[in-house]
Structures are given as C-alpha cells and as structure tokens.
C-alpha cells in the first residue's frame, strides 16, 4: 500500500483530506506537534499513522517523508503570534519540505496556498503564501511533480469563519463589521479535499496551479446576515468605514484569540474570488453554501433536526 505524508493533516482541512485519501485506499503518515490534541476521528482512520513530531527539525521532517509516495502540505496560519511566523510557516517550511522530498526521492508534492497570493499583495499573509509557492515551483527543476491549490475561504462544520460569526452574533445584538464590502467566494471543505485527493494520481495536474472557489460570490456583510438568519438572530450589523475597520482590527489583535488583525484587513482589500472555474479534472461541481451550511449551522428545532436526519438518511 502506498503511503502519503500529510503535513498539517490534523487541522480542519487536513482531517477532510485524510478521509478522502483513505477512501481511495491510500495509507497516511500524519506528523503532529501534540498527538493528544488530535481529533479521535483522525486517529481511527484505517492505515493511518498519527505521529508526534517536530517538523521544524530537518532530520525529523526527513524521517516523516522517507518512503512516502507523495507529500501533501496543508500548513498555514491566519495570524502571527510573533514577527516572522508567516514566513517561517508559509515560505521556509515549504523550502524544507522540498529539500526533504529531494533527499528522500519523493517525486510528488501537493501544496495548498491561498487565493490571491502574490508578491505584490497588500498583506504579509498573502506575500508569504506567494513565497511558499515560489519554493514549491522551484522543486520542478529537481524532478518533483508539483501541484498548487489556491482555495478561497473554506467553510464546513468546524470552520473558523462562519462559525466565528455565529458565535459573535450570539454575544451581542449589534455587530460592528469591519470591511463589510470585502468579497469572498466560499468553497466547501469536502470539495477542496476531494480535489486534492483526486489530483494525486492525475498526471495532467503536474506543474499546475488551481484556484478553488464555490459557485457564488458574497460580500462579507451578506455572509454575516446569512449566518444571523440561519441562527434565528435579529441583529443590527453596523458597517465600518475603512479607517474604523483598521482601528477595530488594531484593538482586536491585542486581545486574546486575535479575532481580527490589521494584516487580515489588508488581505481583505483584495477580492477573494476566483478568476477561473472549478478545475475540470475534479469531475464535479462545487457545492453551494446554501446547500451545506444549514445542515450544521441552522437554529436547531425539532423540525429542523428531523429534516437533517431525513437528508442524511436519503429520505
């Protein structure tokens, strides 16, 4: 059985990618910093090793990659805890992964970046993602077949996007909303996972970069209004100006949890929408947000619980 090293496999997207790969009969090796924090559903997947390992150590990373048929890198952060975190995780780690693949003879590398990553982007986050892409593309010169994915914001049951707005809406009748006109094209986590799993053995995807988006574009305010409606919450959304958005972000980034940072605001100056349709090689159309989100985010009444049961049961 082939084994794939899934770096960042214990996170939100990683758990879904792991499940999609397992359904294809692929074995997994998933390094993680703290195994005790890994979700149980990941540990019980068939033919899956979840190994406590420090992949910032080049020797350890090499051991994780050795003997694998491919490596998939899903690592990423939205906020820096200390200066330079974006570069360390988004640019330097991909370089180390490329070095490990070259040393171990791994000839297939799949990398998840971010939509609108660019060296000229207004945010450190997007610029660091572009640096990472550059490191991955350089691997082609060493005989490593690479594929890069650029997803828009990803939604799903445990996401840190729509669920965050649901939580905020439950706390206050008024929601001061920074960057209300920022545009997104949210994509369902299962669709992203299926696309990643589907490209592993597809030779036409080698050397390619794919954008992954859902079928519809929304302003941020529309997304928050949608979440409030699903939760049955009548909330006043207060759109903030650009100046007030920056001030709000400055305040929030100094609070525990960093709900928003000034760099996030800079990222939202660029429309997070795709320039291309969903990739044809995937063989399916992406799911609309309205078809998936109510199943896990809608206000739970007896009737809605029964409806969800019927949908899952195919009735």
Distances (CA, A) of 119 to 10, 133, 207: 29, 10, 20
The reported pLDDT for the residue numbered 306 is: 45
The reported pLDDT for the residue numbered 35 is: 83
What is the DSSP secondary-structure string of 204-219? GGTTEEEEE--S--EE
Token pair of 198, please?
């589907």
The confidence band for 258, taking pLDDT boundaries of 50, 70 and 90, is confident
Q: How many CB atoms lie within 10 A of CB 55?
A: 23
- Residue pair 109/141 in contact (Cβ under 8 Å)? The answer is no
315 pLDDT exceeds 90?
no
- Residue pair 3/22 in contact (Cβ under 8 Å)? The answer is no
Cα 307 from Cα 312, distance rounded (Å): 9
Give per-residue pLDDT as tens, 150-195: 999 999 998 999 999 999 899 999 999 999 999 999 999 999 999 9
Mean pLDDT, residues 38-67 taken together: 91
Give per-residue pLDDT as tens, 56-109: 999 999 999 999 999 999 999 999 988 999 999 999 999 999 999 999 999 999
Confidence (pTM): 0.92
Token pair of 142, please?
């060493």
Cα 202 from Cα 179, distance rounded (Å): 39
Class for the domain spanning 3-155+187-212: alpha beta
Token pair of 64, please?
């994780």
């Amino acid at each position: 059985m082939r084994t794939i090293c899934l770096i960042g496999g214990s996170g939100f997207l990683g758990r879904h990618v792991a499940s999609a790969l397992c359904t294809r009969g692929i074995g997994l090796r998933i390094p993680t910093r703290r195994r005790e924090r890994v979700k149980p559903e990941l540990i019980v997947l068939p033919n899956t090793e979840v190994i406590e390992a420090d992949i910032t150590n080049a020797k350890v990373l090499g051991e994780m990659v050795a003997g694998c048929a491919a490596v998939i890198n899903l690592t990423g952060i939205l906020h820096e805890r200390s200066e330079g975190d974006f570069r360390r995780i988004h640019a330097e780690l991909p370089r180390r992964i490329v070095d490990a693949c070259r040393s171990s003879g791994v000839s297939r590398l799949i990398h998840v970046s971010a939509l609108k990553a660019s060296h000229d982007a207004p945010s450190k986050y997007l610029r660091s993602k572009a640096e990472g892409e550059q490191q991955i593309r350089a691997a082609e010169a060493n005989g490593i077949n690479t594929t890069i994915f650029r997803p828009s914001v990803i939604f799903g049951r445990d996401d840190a996007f729509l669920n965050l707005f649901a939580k905020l809406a439950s706390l206050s009748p008024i929601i001061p909303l920074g960057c209300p006109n920022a545009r997104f094209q949210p994509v369902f986590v299962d669709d992203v996972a299926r696309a990643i799993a589907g490209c592993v053995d597809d030779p036409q995807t080698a050397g390619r970069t794919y954008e992954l988006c859902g079928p519809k574009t929304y302003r941020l305010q529309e997304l928050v209004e949608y979440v409030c409606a699903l939760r049955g919450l009548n909330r006043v959304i207060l759109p903030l100006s650009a100046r007030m958005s920056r001030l709000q972000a400055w305040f929030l980034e100094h609070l525990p949890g960093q709900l928003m940072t000034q760099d996030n605001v800079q990222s939202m100056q660029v429309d997070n929408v795709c320039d291309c349709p969903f990739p044809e090689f995937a063989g399916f159309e992406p799911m609309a947000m309205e078809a998936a989100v109510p199943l896990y985010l809608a206000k739970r009444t007896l009737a809605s619980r029964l409806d969800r049961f019927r949908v899952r049961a195919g009735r």
